């Protein structure tokens, strides 16, 4: 597992974490390149930790891996384009389809929200407004990895509240780090359902909150990993409790087609049965901001600017 945590602006540090022992720290730039002597003075340091036994002896290995990964992503994008063509072909029937889906979704949400956890439920109890104590209970439950999913009524409530919040947000978020209200801003790249990575980042950098750092999650929270539901639920819960401390950009994996191809839809279906809960997640995806501007200096976006 390899991921990168960036702390930009006044207290900028980029940390690349690699599993295992016997590693070393070395200054690096983007994608592991040596740090340029002429780097921006507002970017104070960039450090990577890579275990000795996992350091590539030939940069061609890294390039090959990146090319294969990019090729796989391109295949998925092409599949999405094919799906768009099918969407156009059935456009005449979309109003009735949308009406049926809305009715099914409303029925599911109403039933799930009104269903109370039974005596056999051992997960955290959540009510609204969500409090920091409930958030701590949710965090501890997920960290314990008991295998008990959050009750469907609680998850529906969190997704509904998240959707209400993001419906009010602009497509480009603006945030500041120079005001001094937070210790720093931590920008987190693709987590892809790796809950332990998220917990490690929190432990290393501090938990989000008024006296802790701000966090910007730069997309691709789910797919590939097995704990996407727990990871995104925890991030959304933090966003609900501390809306000014947690920011989320939409990545290409916050979409229906990618979730179908890379496993998140299967994960949600396995944990909660049916596809209605997955539909609630996708409705949150559709409202996520696309980019974040930090201190009118840095523009953070998941996959770059649009081609057209």
By the 10 Å C-beta count (0-12 exposed, 13-18 middle, 19+ buried), 44 is classed as middle
Which phi and psi angles does 210 have, rounded to 5°?
A: -60, -30
Pairing of strands 291-294, 298-301: antiparallel
Q: What are the beta bridge partners of residue 196? A: none
Q: Which of 204, 169, 161 is nearest to 186 (CA)?
A: 204
Strand partners, 13: 7, 45
Helix (H) or strand (E) holding 138: helix 132-144
Q: How far is CA 2 from CA 8, 32, 46, 191, 254, in A?
A: 19, 12, 16, 9, 20
* Diameter over CA atoms, the chain: 62
Catalytic residues: 253
**Ramachandran angles phi, psi of 165, nearest 5°:** -65, -50
């Amino acid at each position: 597992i390899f991921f990168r945590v960036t702390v930009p602006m006044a207290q900028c540090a980029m940390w690349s974490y690699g599993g295992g022992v016997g590693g070393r720290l070395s200054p690096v730039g983007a994608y592991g390149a040596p740090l340029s002597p002429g780097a921006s003075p507002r970017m104070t340091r960039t450090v990577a930790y890579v275990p000795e036994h996992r350091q590539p002896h030939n940069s061609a290995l890294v390039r090959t891996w990146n090319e294969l990964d990019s090729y796989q992503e391109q295949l998925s994008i092409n599949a999405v384009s094919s799906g768009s063509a099918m969407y156009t072909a059935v456009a005449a029937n979309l109003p009735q389809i949308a009406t049926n889906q809305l009715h099914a979704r409303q029925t599911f949400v109403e039933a799930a929200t009104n269903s109370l956890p039974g005596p056999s439920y051992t997960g955290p109890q959540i009510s609204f407004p969500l409090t920091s104590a409930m958030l701590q209970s949710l965090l501890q439950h997920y960290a314990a990895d008991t295998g008990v999913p959050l009750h469907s009524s609680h998850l529906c409530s969190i997704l509904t509240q998240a959707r209400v919040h993001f419906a009010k947000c602009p497509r480009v978020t603006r945030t500041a780090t120079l005001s001094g209200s937070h210790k720093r801003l931590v920008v987190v790249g693709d987590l892809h359902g790796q809950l332990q990575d998220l917990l490690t980042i929190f432990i290393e950098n501090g938990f989000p909150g008024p006296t802790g750092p701000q966090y910007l999650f730069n997309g691709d929270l789910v797919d590939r990993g097995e704990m996407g539901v727990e990871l995104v639920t925890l991030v959304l819960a933090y966003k609900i409790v501390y809306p000014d401390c947690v920011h989320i950009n939409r990545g290409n994996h916050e979409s229906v087609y990618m979730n179908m191809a890379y496993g998140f839809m299967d994960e949600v279906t396995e944990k909660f049965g049916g596809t209605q809960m997955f539909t609630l997640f996708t409705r949150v995806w559709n409202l996520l901001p696309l980019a974040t501007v930090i201190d009118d200096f840095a523009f953070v976006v998941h996959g770059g600017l649009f081609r057209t």
